[in-house]
């Protein structure tokens, strides 16, 4: 059996490798020739994915990458794992999904082994994308009918880069089909590689499931971020409070504050529902309030940096600040939507000179939101700065000994174990 995966990033690559390890041949498709060449040469460009896995798949001839989307004619199923960002007005940008649909549509009519092709969208989006927007593009550009001439389904990705206790194989896969036949075909496919597939009644239920998961996180993170600012004024350590509350064996789940939201899901996905809800004259007040609180956190952190510098009779303007961590989460190289970029921009706008250290991000690549930082390189951690700002809780920072440092350390993650005398939580 042979399938194609469109989009070889943090979702598509591990998914493709899982299918190869289950005995399925995978054709990886991407518009980035660098990724394609890396895979074909047996090298990983994602830090937490070992090159050995790619090399094994290449040696067994189970994995190949290409930029030629016409090659979907060779496969039984096409899994779309492309970005779904927001534009500057916080409106959904489905261009990557729709362009993928346009590219594959002319090749949907060629059945393999007498079987109709299956198209599965994995990119997070609003309810109705699969059975309306994507279906329309596929049918218009192929002359075929979904559910009759080809199968169509939605299965939200649940990738969590760097996680050790769960994997693509073990995380239950939610699956919604355009028709019952589409659902059966997609469950059959994913069951070859994953331990558990959870079918639901429609594509829209599956799309809403992923949004609900991420809205749950966004709202609860906003709650503890708000509590952090309140408890700070009361001279109460919010992390101590959360740890104590977490001892309750029921009715409570711990969430932790931070300098802002990061990653490919939580800062973006809730607003897909906000945008779609307006079509039904509905207003998502919880989501919007959570967004306001979470996006205000970098300003709060900057104010705490100002307080720390004040203790040394300094201002942000003209100060040299070392930021620790550009990745949005610990021990990975994933810097998508990282609040560190927002912090860097806000500090520099106020006249600071900002350097950074991150062993997982040795050089900043071009990002959609902050291309001006591309090319900056990680520097060593030294005491030669007016302030050190901990933005990401990498293990290397937790174990780093700051006790001899004279510069203040502002810790947004409560992760420093060996603190200097001038230590501030933010």
Which residues are the active-site residues? 265
62: tokens are 């189970």
The 10 Å Cβ neighbour count of residue 363 is 11
31: tokens are 């518009």
Ramachandran bin of 34, using left for φ above 0, alpha for ψ from -120 to 50, beta for the remaining angles: alpha
Angle ∠(100,102,108) on CA atoms, nearest 5: 95
Task: State how far the Cα of 49 lies from the Cα of 159, in Å rounded to an integer.
Answer: 13
Task: State how far the Cα of 237 lies from the Cα of 265, in Å rounded to an integer.
Answer: 28
44, 255, 286, 304, 308 from 425: Cα distances, Å: 36, 17, 27, 8, 10
Instruction: Tell me phi and psi for residue 131, to 5 degrees.
Output: -85, -5
Task: State how far the Cα of 243 lies from the Cα of 348, in Å rounded to an integer.
Answer: 34
Name, in order, each residue with C-beta under 8 angstroms of 378's C-beta and a sequence gap of 6 or more.
326, 356, 357, 358, 359, 361, 362, 363
């Amino acid at each position: 059996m042979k399938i194609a995966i469109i989009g070889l990033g943090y979702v598509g690559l591990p998914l493709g490798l899982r299918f190869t390890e289950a005995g399925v041949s995978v054709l990886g498709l991407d518009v980035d020739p660098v990724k394609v060449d890396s895979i074909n040469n047996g090298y990983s460009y994602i830090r937490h994915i070992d090159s050995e896995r790619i090399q094994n798949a290449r040696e067994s001839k189970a994995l190949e990458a290409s930029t030629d989307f016409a090659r979907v004619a060779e496969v039984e199923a096409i899994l779309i794992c492309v970005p779904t960002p927001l534009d500057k007005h916080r409106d959904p940008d489905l261009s990557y999904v729709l362009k993928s649909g346009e590219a594959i549509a002319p090749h949907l009519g060629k059945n393999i082994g007498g079987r109709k092709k299956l198209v599965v969208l994995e990119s997070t989006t609003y309810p109705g994308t699969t059975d309306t927007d994507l279906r329309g593009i596929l049918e218009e550009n192929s002359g075929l009918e979904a559910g009759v001439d080809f199968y169509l389904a939605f299965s939200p990705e649940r990738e969590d880069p760097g996680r050790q206790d769960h994997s693509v194989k073990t995380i239950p896969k939610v699956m919604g089909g355009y028709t019952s036949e589409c659902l059966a075909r997609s469950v059959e496919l994913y069951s070859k590689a994953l331990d558990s597939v959870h079918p639901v009644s429609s594509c829209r239920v599956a799309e809403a499931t992923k949004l609900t998961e991420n809205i749950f996180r966004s709202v609860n993170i906003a709650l503890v971020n708000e509590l952090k600012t309140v408890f700070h004024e009361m001279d109460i350590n919010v992390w101590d409070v959360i740890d104590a509350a977490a001892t309750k064996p029921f009715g409570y789940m711990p969430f932790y504050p931070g300098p802002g939201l990061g990653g490919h899901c939580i800062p973006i996905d809730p607003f897909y529902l906000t945008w779609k809800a307006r079509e039904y004259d509905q207003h998502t007040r919880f989501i919007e309030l959570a967004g306001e609180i979470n996006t205000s956190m970098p300003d709060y952190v900057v104010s705490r940096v100002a307080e720390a510098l004040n203790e040394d009779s300094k201002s942000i303007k003209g100060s040299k600040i070392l930021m620790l961590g550009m990745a949005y989460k610990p021990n990975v190289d994933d810097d998508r939507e990282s609040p560190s970029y927002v912090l860097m921009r806000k500090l520099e706008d106020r006249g600071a000179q900002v350097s950074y250290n991150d062993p997982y991000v040795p050089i900043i690549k071009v990002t959609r939101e902050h291309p001006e930082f591309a090319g900056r390189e990680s520097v060593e951690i030294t005491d030669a700065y007016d302030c050190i700002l901990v933005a990401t809780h990498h293990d290397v920072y937790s174990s780093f000994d700051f006790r001899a440092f004279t510069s203040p350390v502002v810790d947004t993650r409560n992760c420093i174990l060996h603190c200097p005398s001038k230590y501030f939580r933010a």
